[in-house]
Structure 1
Amino acid sequence: MGDASMVGLLGRVTGTVGPGLVGEVIVQVRGGAEHFLAYPAAGGERIEPGTVVTVVEYLPPRTVYVSAVYGS
């Protein structure tokens, strides 16, 4: 089970997140910014670099499922 404190945090995509891809996001957490491997929360969603996302699910230690904050 993931750490609930990560869920709802905002991040920014640094490597494209999408189907068949292992993307990357940077999230402001624990007083700094950390990189996480990222997958889309909605299976078919493609999220481009620079997009602001919210963490929907966290799988320790470094994996998150994200969704774009603003519609594309």
Structure 2
Amino acid sequence: MVGELGRVTGAVGPGLVGEVMVRVRGGAEAFLAYPAEPGERIERGTVVLIVEYQPPRTVFVARAYA
């Protein structure tokens, strides 16, 4: 899971529980998402890199492209 790319479907940021869609096992699944950098806000539609995974469905993400 760590190192995979996903797309934000619900804004990720302080005080928010965001959502990221990630390709898994030939399909796409939703994961709860938090920013890897405290205080960072990542808008819907942004491609992100998963930097930490906490089973069963939580990920910490950073922007994939600057």
Bin for the TM-score computed over the shorter chain: over 0.9
Moved over 2 A (4+): none
Task: List gaps (5 residues or longer) in structure 1.
Answer: 1-5
TM value normalised by structure 2: 0.96
Q: Which residue of 2 aligns with 1:30?
A: 25
CA offsets, 1:4-61, max 9 Å, x none?
xx00000000000001100000001111100000000001110000000010000000
Deviation at 1:64, TM superposition (A): 0.3
Give the Cα–Cα distance (whole angstroms) in 1 for the partners of residues 63 and 53 of structure 2: 15
Q: Which residue of 2 aligns with 1:62?
A: 57
Greater share of residues in strand: 2
RMSD: 0.6
Q: Which residue of 2 aligns with 1:3?
A: none
Task: List gaps (5 residues or longer) in structure 2.
Answer: none
1:51 and 2:51 matched: no
Letter in 2 for 1:47: I
